[in-house]
Structure 1
Amino acid sequence: MAPAWRKSCVAAAFTLLGGCAAVGDGMVSLPAVSVTASGETTPVGTVNADAADDPAIWRNPANPANSLIVGTDKKAGLYVYGLDGAVRDFVAAGELNNVDLAGNADGALVVASDRTDPANSHVAMFQLSAEGTLTPQGRIASGPGEAYGLCLQRHRSQDGAGGSQVIYAAIKDGTVRELRIDRQAGGTWQGTPLRSWKIATQIEGCVTNPRNGDLFIGEENVGIWRIQTSLANAEPELFASVGEQDGLVADVEGLAFAAQENGPDYLIASSQGDNAYAVFHINDGALVGRFRIADGIVDGTSETDGIEVSIGDLPGFPGGLFVAQDGDNSPSGQNFKLVSWDAIVSGMGLR
């Protein structure tokens, strides 16, 4: 949601951090460069509403041209799109907010935060086929509170569509729950709580570092937290703050991890309050630049919620694909914009 412009002080969630973090006033010192989208998806079916929210990308290793994008209509269910932006499938699965996936050669396990019951969070489970069809596989409970953000642990060795997997459920009140999910006979899933943490205020977007398992969580009015999940006694530590120095204007929304094969890794955050995206160097947390998606062959983005990036050759996107939710796709309903990662790297002078 769009931020309320104000300055305030929010108490840190953990005494070891001390002090408080200032909420930004909409001003940052580092300008954002402009890039344009190469394409866009068909709008979600819920029109005249804040409905599209979060994307995930499955790269088809056998035929990259048939790679797929999964996106939520948080009022209605889950879409599957091709790289041309056309709808391949839709499942009317209720109020699904964030989505993530773990893929293999045959398709992917798709998980989505299910907020249909605002008092009791759940994770909705699906199997995505290489042909682009989604098969519901039930849902698992993820504890009290309203489901909001969700991401998979990509560091640990998993088989994607089966076996065991770790997920992180970001509850709207700031609780983060780590759960192991195991596939049962018949294709359903069972969830086992492992650990939990508490951030002070509302959270949503999250992503993990596939190199070492670090978890990054966006606290909407405060900044980005990192949890070193490989440590038994891991506690959240502030990675980047809302405000001038870190280039973030509340709300902090979607997070994406760019794991480059021949270059540094980056964390990308949706700086929703000024319709921009902040890019951080993952090793030291330094802000390396900001960009916006401007009008081009398709319109640009504004008030972006979820984002995702896939590094690697895809048809039309030789260096990779960045996908961003567009909060104002007037006169049509909300949708997702498709941007070449090469355009972002070139525009920002990254490598």
Structure 2
Amino acid sequence: MRRVLTIAAFASLGACAAKEMPVEQRIALASPAATVTARGETAPVGTANADAADDPAIWRNAADPAASLVVGTDKKAGLYLYGLDGKVRDFLDAGRVNNVDLKDGVAIGGGTGVLVVASDRNDVANAKLALFRLDTASAKLTALGTVPAGAGEAYGVCLYRDVAGLYAFIVLKDGTINQVALDASGATPSGRIVRTMKLGTQSEGCAADDRTGVLYVAEEDVGLWKFDAKAGGSVSPVKIAAADGRNIVADAEGVAIAMVGEKDGYVLVSSQGDNAYAVYRIADDAYVGRFRIAAGTVGATEETDGIEVMTGDFGPGFPGGLFVAQDGQNGAGAQNFKLVAWDDIVRALGLPR
């Protein structure tokens, strides 16, 4: 009974008050979390002694899954490209790029390839989308240009594709979400804002499901929301989960989608306040569990910002899928990204296969 009363009191304090608690107390008051360990990690980003690494994106090499690649942002400097061995394949000085996503099979400059899009906050008053080509054969990133994305500071970004075209959702720091129709087929990329949505306070992480036409956005002190992702859809949000100190402990940060089958799977949210990750079922938005990444062969994760997950074969180390999480501490080193097998998460949470 004492624990029930304590949790109720904790929830009533609100997210801002909860942030003032020591992390050990937040962990003690949150819902139980299973434990997994990372099977690998990336080299640290180049910016030391700073909150620099932020958000990952994954490209899966269908022909040679173990040769897949991870893009990661150093939000003070640019974009890193890593192999699954964690080694740096490339770095591109792009300045202050915060979040990143990618799509394969996109028309780019007269051909078809992998388009990487980052939220560009080099100008905090005017958001932009920075576009890049990922040459998967040479493991190199090439800048294509920027596209205006609205007034305000660029923060989160995620890509969405349907029969009407390719879109980027850019989440501005004040909770504004602009849906931008992208065209990278010409000599220089272009884009136009086709609609705007709004959450009440600071928001960042997002992920869009091409299969279901749903956009998920994390409002840091409030919780997880979903929108209709279609350009002509409703702009009204539906709340999936609150940042109540139980399943999500503020800040609610990165958002990722683990696709299973044609329309099922899971939405994952970084519960930054207690170093955990909450998991919700796509079919009915139901909460199914939480997990933490503990120290093992490589270190644990703390204060995670961006996350990404992709199911499928990624070679012997990650045969059922790959989960990538930014590590906000990484011991004495600069921040980096931890690589976790999706199969390990499935087993830890007892999810159906």
TM > 0.5 between the two?
yes
CA distance in structure 1 between the partners assigned to 2:61 and 2:207 by the alignment: 21
Segment of structure 1 superposing worse, 60-69 or 121-130: 60-69
1:140 aligns with 2:153: no
The structure with the greater share of residues assigned to helix is 2
Report matched runs for 1:188-227 at 5 Å. 188-227=188-227
SS across alignment from 2:285: coil
SS of structure 1 residue aligned to 2:273: helix
Question: Structure 1's 191 and 22: CA in aligned 2 closer, same or farther, altered over 3 A?
Answer: farther
**3-state secondary structure, aligned to 1:265:** strand
Q: 2:224 is paired with a residue of what secondary structure?
A: strand
Deviation at residue 346 of structure 1 after TM alignment: 0.4
1:122 maps to a residue whose letter is: K
User: Which one-letter code corresponds to 2:69 in the other structure?
Assistant: L
Equivalent-residue separation in structure 2 for 1:86 and 1:49 (angstroms): 21
User: In the TM superposition, what are the counterparts of 1:30-41 in structure 2 within 5 Å?
Assistant: 30-41=31-42
Contact 1:310 1:322 in 2 (8 A): yes
Mark the CA change 1:62 to 1:175 in structure 2 (over 3 Å): closer, same or farther: same
Q: Does 1:344 align with 2:351?
A: no
Stretch of structure 1 that moved more, 89-98 or 283-292? 283-292
Q: Is the alpha carbon distance of 1:213 and 1:23 closer, same or farther for their aligned partners in structure 2, counting shifts above 3 Å? A: farther
Structure 2 distance, partners of 1:223, 1:113, is: 21
Matched residue type, 1:317? F
Q: Is the 8 A contact 2:211 2:262 kept in 1?
A: no
Percent of residue pairs bearing the same amino acid type: 52
Whether the 8 Å contact between 1:23 and 1:242 is mirrored in structure 2 is: no
Q: C-alpha offsets along residues 159-192 of structure 1, whole Å, 9 cap, x if unaligned? A: xxxxx52110000011000010112532x21111
1:83-232 mapped onto 2 (5 Å cutoff)? 83-104=84-105, 107-130=113-136, 131-154=138-161, 156-157=162-163, 164-186=165-187, 188-230=188-230, 232=233
Map 1:298-317; keep pairs closer than 5 Å: 298-315=298-315, 316-317=317-318
Give matches, 1:15-54, under 5 Å.
Answer: 26=26, 28-54=29-55
Contact 1:147 1:169 in 2 (8 A): yes
Partner-residue secondary structure (3-state), 1:217 = strand
Residue 23 of structure 1 contacts residue 222 of structure 1 at CA under 8 Å; is this kept in 2?
Answer: no
Alpha carbons 1:257, 1:265 under 8 Å: kept: yes
Aligned to 1:16: none
Q: Deviations over 1:172-223 (max 9, x none)?
A: 011000010112532x211111000111100000001222110010000000
Paired position in structure 1 for 2:4: none
For the 8 Å contact 1:23–1:243, the answer to whether it is kept is no
Q: CA deviation at 1:262?
A: 8.6
Q: Distance in 2 between matches of 1:229 and 1:110?
A: 19
* Structure 1 residue 60: Cα displacement: 1.3
Q: Helix, strand or coil: the match of 2:343?
A: helix
Distance 2:78 2:306 in 1: 15
Residue 86 of structure 1 aligns to which amino acid in structure 2?
K
Q: 1:263 to 1:178 in 2, by over 3 A?
A: closer
2:76 is paired with a residue whose SS is coil
Evaluate the alpha carbon distance shift between residue 166 and residue 264 of structure 1 in structure 2; reply closer, same or farther with a 3 A threshold: closer
Which whole-Å CA distance do the structure 2 matches of 1:165 and 1:262 have between them? 20
Q: Does residue 253 in structure 1 map to residue 253 in structure 2?
A: yes
Structure 2, gaps ≥5 residues long: 1-9, 107-111
**Distance in structure 1 (CA, Å) of the matches to 2:204 and 2:234:** 23
Structure 1 residue 233, shift from structure 2 partner: 2.9
Amino acid at match of 1:212: T
What TM-score comes out, normalization by structure 2 length? 0.88
Pick closer, same or farther for the CA change 1:341–1:184 going to 2, 3 Å: closer
Shift of 1:251: 0.2
The root-mean-square deviation of aligned C-alpha atoms, in Å, is: 2.2
Secondary structure of 2:260's partner?
A: coil
Cα distance change on mapping 1:192 and 1:223 into 2, 3 Å? same
The code of the aligned residue for 1:148 comes to Y
Query: Which residue matches 2:292?
Result: 292
